[in-house]
A = this chain, B = another copy of it.
Amino acid sequence: MVLRQHHLDDQQFTLISKALADPKRFEMLQRIAHQGPAPTCTCLRESLQLAPATISHHLKELETAGLVHIQREGKFAHITLRREVWKAYLKRLSEI
């Protein structure tokens, strides 16, 4: 799959950096990235051992940072990594 290029402005760059700073949130992101089919909140909750409210909070941070896309279908929220954003973040970091 070819990813469209994504441009990170300073604000988004900072939001992403902050999002990654919490170990639990980074672990969430890792699971989201690895999982083939888009995982749901409950799925993450089981592996991370956090309360639903906490999962939801972290998920919102990841979404606000633009790192994940959340597709809400009925009861479920299917989460996917926005790889073009991730790639842009890595690129910017590597240009330090």
Contact = CB atoms under 8 A, between A and B. Distances in A.
A30 interface: yes
A89 to B, nearest CB: 8
The quantity of this chain's copies bound in the complex is: 2
Interface stretch (A16-24, A45-53, A71-79): A16-24
A96 B18 contact: no
B93 A93 contact: yes
Nearest to A96: B33
A26 B17 contact: yes
A90 B20 CA distance: 13
Interface of A: 10, 14, 17-18, 20-21, 23, 26, 29-30, 33, 86, 90, 93-94, 96
